[in-house]
Chains A and B, each alone.
Chain A
Amino acid sequence: MTDLLIQGALSGLLIGGVYGLIALGLNLVFGTMRVVNFAQGTLLMVAMFMAYWLHVLTGLHPYLTPLVTVPVLFGLGYAIQVVLITPLLAREKTREPMSVLLMTLGLALLLENLALLLFRGDYKTVQVNQTNAVWFLGDYIVSVSRFWALVALLATVAALWAFLTHTDLGRAIRAVGQDRQVARLLGINDRVIYNYAFGISTAVMGIAAATLVPFYYIHPGVGTSFLLKAFVIVVLGGLGSMPGAALGGLAVGVIEGVIGIWTQAAVAQILLFAVFIAMLFFRPAGLLGVERK
């Protein structure tokens, strides 16, 4: 049993890499704009289709697709912010941006149905060297494709952390997240900062997609279940915290893996959402979040 639990924890840690990447994107937008982006899962789906077609049409390995998808997705995210979200935010600047939240939900439904129209309900898969490949760690099995997802998460979170703490733009993003009024007083154009934040958050989906495509399936509805998990992770790790999102992702993966072995996968889901509610109740700032006044 212990062996099984360790295997469950190990596998959970690896898939946690993917969860963490999606949560990173969600957290970046929430941390700066205080907007929950319901379209995050759908943007992941868009990124997965981009990676898939790049691989199929040009033979580019999925792991190299971020070279193309990350800049394109950054542009897409930037454009969504400029065209769709900024006007709504401006209209609602005196109250909580409720219609922005609904707009992201609308955008999610629009993109999903557009994908259904373009690609129908087909489930697409990719076969590369990493697909179905494993390494042995003693008696334990390490899935190669999921291992690279974990590496990608760690690399991305390190890069984002460095960017947010050591560059002017990064510091400006954090400043706006902490207090947009004060940031404005200090001469930061918060609207432009939002554009960057949304762009980066969308670009991260390109990395998540690259790690998923070799072992997962690509389908217009694929983002939904990942998005739900990302919400739990963001609340667990801390709203607005990058290391929190990564840690939360890994924690959720491990919890799922261990509980799934111990009882059933469905029980793990119930438990995760119970943790979600408990965190909101007792520690709304999450594990690594900062309590806001």
Chain B
Amino acid sequence: MRNRRSVLLSAAALAGTAVAGRWAHANEEIRVGVLSPMTGPAARFGAIQQSTLALAVEDVNGAGGIRSLGGAKLRLIFGDTRGEADMGVTETERLITRERAHALIGAFQSGVGLPSSAVAERYEIPWLNFGTVDRITQRGFRYIFRPHANDTLKARALVEGIINLGAAHGGLKTGVILSENTEWGKSVADKQKTFLEQARVEIKLVEHYPYAAPDLTSMVVKARALRPDLVLANSYLGDALLITRLMGEYQLRPTVYAAGGGGHLQPDFVGGAGALAEGVICATAWDPAVGRKVPWIKEVNDRHVARNGVPITEDAACYYQCFQVLVDALERSKDLDPKKIRDAIAATDITDPNHKAMFVPCTRLSFDETGQNPTATAMVVQVQQGKLRLVHPAAAAEPDVTPIWPYGRKA
């Protein structure tokens, strides 16, 4: 009896699919492929991306799914990139061809996102990207979108923040940039140098050091001899710890110790560098402190903390935003044809700060012809008593937080 019913059901389902065409079945589940590092060195990031998206899906499905599609529910299908480009490409292929994903989100590391998103472009499946390297959206692709800040926008926000915070203290005249030598470090250092020079800060040294080097003493000694007002580092976690400790030992004490993001933002950095982390200024796309001014963002983050024990991270917040941009587009596309979804994403125009896609706040969420949100911005946080506090821009900054100036002064 049970068997016969399930046979009948599948036959009906088959017939339904045949009638409705490849994508457009009314009550069909909407399949969202998510590329994340679930194993490997970056697995902890992937875990938080996954748990943050889980909240978003529950909220949307719980509120009745996509109304314009007859309340269709969304389902996440995860692909593990292991943080490796070739795995990212393979998993993207699988999500598109085997899982028949309607849209994709990912892939965290820019080095993974670059080749993987090219696969999505080839299959004409829309991809909402997390990964900051500018080039991801500058390859003439039509299906790749980035709602948050790229490296250029982030570098601009960081330099603006440093200059504004320093204006009251006599400003900065000289700086050095210490940057790791892979894709991210090279691309971001160039932009920071340009913006700093526009702000009349003389850059006396730009050094691209080898990633994960056993020792970087000579670089720190050399930087100290230049007596810079600003040390700006773009480092992954291990290097960030090593450089900061060396700066302590070799007494490199700039007025501002800033970082482009990466390792300096992570809890292990703040814990591991201890007192030397105090006052470090860092660019980030998102911080839980955003919730201090926007209650619904705080509510989402609180729920994440209650369930998983840790706050939402910068990258996971961007995944959340990507997902909500997709939800918004699905309501408007009224169709599951990836081409129609793509057109709906391209037509995104959100200004309401309480729209869920504004989880990563900006003045206006739309996409230019390259797929980048041109008005996306970043914010500046500072380590104070072992915690990251939002200090810039003024509109987002926490009201009761006074920036530590100069670096090394006790809060």
A: residues with CB less than 8 A from B are 4, 7-8, 11-12, 15, 18-19, 116, 120-125, 127, 131-134, 141, 143, 215-217, 219-222, 224-226, 229, 253, 256-261, 264-266, 268-269
Contacts and interface: CB of A to CB of B under 8 A. Distances in A.
Contacts of B241: 123, 125, 217
B268 A256 contact: no
Contact of B218 (A122, A222, A268): A268
- Count class of interface residues, chain B: 35 or more
Interface string B203-232: 000011110111111110110010000000
B16 interface: no
Nearest to B220: A11
A215 B237 CA distance: 15
A125 B263 CA distance: 14
B370 interface: no
A203 to B, nearest CB: 21
Given A132-B245, A215-B245, A265-B207, A4 B214 contact: no
Contact of B212 (A11, A225, A256, A260): A225
A101 B213 CA distance: 25
A229 B210 CA distance: 13
Nearest to A216: B242
Nearest to B181: A266
B43 interface: yes
A123 B238 contact: yes
Nearest to A127: B274
A141 B225 CA distance: 13
Given A127-B274, A132-B245, A120 B209 contact: no
A11 B249 CA distance: 11
B218 A261 contact: yes
Contact of A265 (B41, B42, B209, B276): B209
Contacts of A8: 217-218, 221-222
17 contacts: A4-B225, A8-B218, A11-B221, A18-B214, A120-B43, A120-B44, A121-B40, A121-B44, A123-B241, A125-B272, A127-B274, A132-B276, A221-B41, A264-B207, A265-B209, A268-B218, A269-B213
Contacts of A258: 218
A256 B272 contact: no
B214 A116 contact: no
A51 B271 CA distance: 19
